[in-house]
Amino acid sequence: MKVMVSRWLFLVMVLLSAPVSASDALIGMLTSQLGVTEQQASGGLGALLATAEPNMSAEGLSSLSGIIPDMDGLLATGAQLLGGEASSSGTSSLLGGLMGGNATALLGLNEAFSSLGLDSAMVAQFSQVLLDYVNSEGGQALMQQLQTALL
């Protein structure tokens, strides 16, 4: 229990110290459309991007970096959320082994969103806002690559 509280406090500190600008269009879209805080928006967005990153081409990641402000910071926050949860959950590893990487990714996202105080249903809502933003700012091909990387 003490370790979980310490991990939670660490994640809160990471999220609070992450540079999040209210003027970032994508963060603004998430906060206004979904009614979440900037910290929840950046954490959830980071978790989605960190989940997609290994499945994206270098060119695709470069294109995303061009349209998503502070993508490196978001990826770092997302990796912390996903990494912290993955190491504490044997269920994720067990189901991932039985059902494949997509199950592990989905469980990791659900756990990351839960640690941010968000319901697992918000994963789909965040994903849709992110995909709409990427389609609008980076084009349909980039959006489709990201969508495939998230599946």
For residue range 90-118, list pLDDT tens digits in order. 444 444 444 455 656 677 888 999 999 99
Q: What is the mean pLDDT of residues 1-25?
A: 52
Instruction: Evaluate whether 143 touches 67 at the Cβ level (below 8 Å).
Output: no
Mean pLDDT of the region 143-148: 94
Structural contact between residues 61 and 90, judged by C-beta atoms closer than 8 angstroms: no
Residue range of the domain that includes 34:
2-150
pTM: 0.73
Closest CA to 39 of 5, 98, 80: 80
The contacts of residue 86 (CB under 8 Å, 6+ apart) are 92, 93, 104, 108, 111
In the chain, how many domains are there?
A: 1
Question: 143: pLDDT confidence band, cut at 50, 70 and 90?
Answer: very high
